[in-house]
Structure 1
Amino acid sequence: MALWLNLGEIFRVNAVKYPQNIAFCDQNRRFTFPQSNQRINQLAHALLAMGLQKGDTVSCFLENCIEICELYIACAKIGVVINPINFRLVAPEVEYIANNADAKAIFVHDEFVPVIQQVRDKLTQVKEFIVVGSPRDGYREYEDLLGSQSQDEPRASVKPADPWILLYTSGTTGRPKGVVRSHESYIAFYLINGCDFFFGPKDMVLTCMPLCHVNTTFFSFTVTYLGGGNYIHPARSFRPAEILKVVQEQGITFISLIPTHYNLIFSLPEEELKSYDLSSINKLLCSSAPARVEHKKAILSLIPGVKLFEG
């Protein structure tokens, strides 16, 4: 075992240390750390059964879902590199990234299958196509993949300096460029975040920023690393009333948002805004763009005592 435990290794520890804690949940499902760890182990074994080896790359073209979280952690356990592709990209862009990443397999949400089908024959290295959600012809089903595999911990030797995530830039001035992030770069960030934000096993994060983006892998998985929970919310659209309802019902303690999200929240009628119980939130992040002073004051007024961070 490495001196620094990566997210896959610490997840196994958390399954023993926090057996009652929810690791991941959404509108319909709730998985404790032990339950999630079993599913993640099954997925890791499934990846190995496909012939994937340490250092190989797996792409995913997924909206926010529990399955993408499982894939991140399964890859961490066995040294496979995950390449999350922005679900808003069109077929030629997906083709370029998957091929440039030398992806051996790709996980796709059922509704995004038509995008992949446009370029499937051009994905030269991809041998396995897996669908999350409803069955699709020519795609292996995610849950079937898990059900056929062992729940035991996979055997692998993964070092902190090994690559884990292969993200791509937005490509505003040319082709997107791959950016390789190691396990140790994320581990350091998780530990720093834990100290700066006072995260811990009692936290429940509302993840509504895209899980294909570096911001979300930095902040949402910090709480996972420290034994807390993640409520996974779709990222395609932001409905402020829906978000505030989730906060109230799930006891959310932290959210990472951008200024536009806060603008939408404060566009709600004042009476409606004050009808939600947001007292569970003790910290917020506003990032990716400068926040207006009046909005910062409004946030602090809406949730007295909240710690507001900018990044």
Structure 2
Amino acid sequence: MHKPLLVTEFLDRARDHYGDEEAVVATTGERYSYEELGERADGFAAALQDRGIEKGDRVAVLDPNTHYHLEAAFGAMQAGAVHTPLNYRLTPDDFSYILEDAGVDAIYADYDFAEKIEAIRDEVPTETFITNDAAAVDGDWESFDEIVDNGGEYDRPEMSEDEIITINYTSGTTGDPKGVCRTHRAETIHAYLTTVHQEISDDDVYLWTLPMFHVNGWGHIYAVTGMGAKHICTRGVEAEEIFEAVQTEDVSYMCGAPTVLNMLIDYYDEHEPETTGNNDVRIATAGAAPPEATIRTVEEEFGWYLKHVYGATETGPLITTSDARRFFEDDSSDRFRVKKRQGFGYLGTEIRVVDEDGNDVPRDDETIGEVVVRGNQVMEKYWNKPEATEEAFNDRAEGYYHLGDLATVDENGMISIQDRKKDIIISGGENISSIELEDTLFEHEAVNDVAVIPAPDDEWGETPKAFVVPANGDPEDPPVSAEELTEFTRENLANYKTVRRIEYVEDLPTTATGKVQKFELREQEWEDEDRMVGEG
């Protein structure tokens, strides 16, 4: 029997079986049941259709982790529109590119970020602008609550599991963001896999410390909702508020990059808060391998259970886990060695580490190859980028998505990331294109040449570092200070992309044909580290 896999069924199931149960604790204090959450999503779907939004149209969502994001996402998808979440850390120019590239027809933007859209609204194809506090926003914006209350009935169109339902934009190595297209089927299967491997159940209380815009919160907008668990919403990530929510709301599960773990550890060391409420706590981390000391503190001091997972926007994101309890005892220090690894594939997910000819490297935990993957949770394509799509799936191994990470694999098939093939820096869980940073620095008249690489950082795992050849050729007396160049990048890029480490050099290492050999610079920066990627 074949039954279409549709993302709308996650909220349908929750309403059907958990309609009277608490679904969402809002940042403003309101508490909504699943039936109330569903009614608000219905109202948003109806409002979109009243404004001409049809099946397949793109609807952008720019929001911190509030209940409005959940309502806008499910409302758009119920109307058959393509949910297009936006990274709220980006600049107006970034938003202009994405809204134009995706052909976004409508946008909901939180009042804290609407000004970034207002600044470029005349440059984009978007015609419908909605916010959660119209009085706090300049320009002509409609009120989310008012249109939801007046939304009436909506018509859910017939949908197919092979149709695109989300587009998630990710930083590309060329600097231009790429739209990752995901189907109903891919999103649904990924949510199923996340539910199994992250052990999500209906009595879970999930704290939103992971941005919902990050490939739909690692699929948790679907998995947590479908299981009828409870969402605790946030407007940011503050250590004190996280510990308080864990205690007062009896949080049982959350996600966070290693930088979040480090922030929690620093706060714990200084304030010694209570770390649990009435529920045991487990936390999933990804983005960089957490050091053993971090895992030890989280598990032995906090009393939480840590799950290390791995993936990319293009892969769902989650494709591997190191939560393999047959390979360690819960009270043994061996578990730290295992949990540092990215692990092996989720159910139904084929992970390989291949050499330049596409052959599997030996399971000796020494030979390095590129990680490639096949799985039902992997993206359909890049939006309007057929050549990039072709390369991503067929570079070394035909039919596999190539992650650009270089790894070893042990005798059990568990991978361990050692280096990165792409010109991507992953800082605090955010992808940053080194080429975009170089292009920005080249715009400064005092910069003659520049190469940007990831440098190790105790807080962020890795951070951008620029090697700059000054225009006057004198690294001892450059015509612009490092502080001024840092400020230049801050003014022209999203804040998290700011280049805070700058080293002036006479020249850059190059090949005989003049290509900059970044590998030499990376070896120099990482010579005291065990691997060439960050540990946050």
CA contact (8 A) 1:207 1:220 kept: no
Q: Secondary structure at the match of 1:301?
A: helix
Instruction: Give 5+ residue unaligned stretches, structure 1.
Output: none
Measured at CA, do residues 257 and 190 of structure 1 come closer, stay the same or move farther in structure 2, by a change above 3 Å? Answer: same
Q: Report the counterpart of residue 184 of structure 2 in structure 1.
A: 183
Q: Report the counterpart of residue 143 of structure 1 in structure 2.
A: 145
Displacement, 1:220? 4.3
Q: Report the counterpart of residue 158 of structure 2 in structure 1.
A: 157
Displacement, 1:133? 2.0
Q: Secondary structure at the match of 2:119?
A: helix
Q: Report the counterpart of residue 105 of structure 1 in structure 2.
A: 106
- CA offsets per residue over residues 252-287 of structure 1, 9 Å max, x none? 110101111111111125473353435523321011
Q: Report the counterpart of residue 244 of structure 2 in structure 1.
A: 245
Amino acid in structure 1 at the alignment position of 2:181: V
Q: Report the counterpart of residue 41 of structure 1 in structure 2.
A: 42
Structure ranking higher in strand proportion = 2
Displacement, 1:231? 0.7
Distance of 2:230 and 2:196 partners within structure 1:
17
Q: Report the counterpart of residue 65 of structure 2 in structure 1.
A: 64
Distance of 2:62 and 2:200 partners within structure 1:
29
Q: Report the counterpart of residue 204 of structure 1 in structure 2.
A: 205
Distance of 2:268 and 2:55 partners within structure 1:
52
Structure 1 residue 126 corresponds to structure 2 residue 126: yes
Displacement, 1:303? 4.1
Amino acid in structure 2 at the alignment position of 1:39: R
- CA offsets per residue over residues 44-100 of structure 1, 9 Å max, x none? 111111111111111122222111111111122121001111111111111110011
Alignment: residue pair count: 306
Structure 1 residue 77 corresponds to structure 2 residue 78: yes
Q: Secondary structure at the match of 1:180?
A: strand
**Structure number with higher relative contact order (C-alpha < 8 Å, ≥ 6 residues apart):** 1
Q: Report the counterpart of residue 193 of structure 2 in structure 1.
A: 192
Displacement, 1:114? 2.2
Q: TM-score, with normalisation over the residues of structure 2?
A: 0.54
Q: Report the counterpart of residue 507 of structure 2 in structure 1.
A: none
Query: Which sits farther off after the overlay, 163-172 or 94-103?
Result: 163-172
CA contact (8 A) 1:283 1:309 kept: no
Instruction: Give 5+ residue unaligned stretches, structure 2.
Output: 311-536
Displacement, 1:39? 0.7
CA contact (8 A) 1:130 1:141 kept: yes
Q: Report the counterpart of residue 284 of structure 1 in structure 2.
A: 283
Measured at CA, do residues 269 and 252 of structure 1 come closer, stay the same or move farther in structure 2, by a change above 3 Å? Answer: closer
Q: TM-score, with normalisation over the residues of structure 1?
A: 0.91
Q: Report the counterpart of residue 253 of structure 2 in structure 1.
A: 254
Q: Secondary structure at the match of 1:299?
A: helix
Amino acid in structure 2 at the alignment position of 1:9: E
Displacement, 1:105? 1.0
CA contact (8 A) 1:7 1:187 kept: yes
Distance of 2:19 and 2:115 partners within structure 1:
40
Q: Secondary structure at the match of 1:74?
A: helix
Q: Report the counterpart of residue 16 of structure 1 in structure 2.
A: 16
Which structure would you say has the larger Rg? 2
Amino acid in structure 1 at the alignment position of 2:198: F
- CA offsets per residue over residues 182-237 of structure 1, 9 Å max, x none? 111111011112121221111111012211111614134311121111111123xx
Sequence identity of aligned pairs in percent?
21
Runs of 4+ in 1 over 4 A off after TM superposition: none
RMSD over equivalenced CA pairs, Å: 2.0
Q: Report the counterpart of residue 168 of structure 2 in structure 1.
A: 167
Q: Secondary structure at the match of 1:266?
A: helix
Distance of 1:250 and 1:89 partners within structure 2:
31
Structure 1 residue 227 corresponds to structure 2 residue 234: no
CA contact (8 A) 2:134 2:142 kept: no
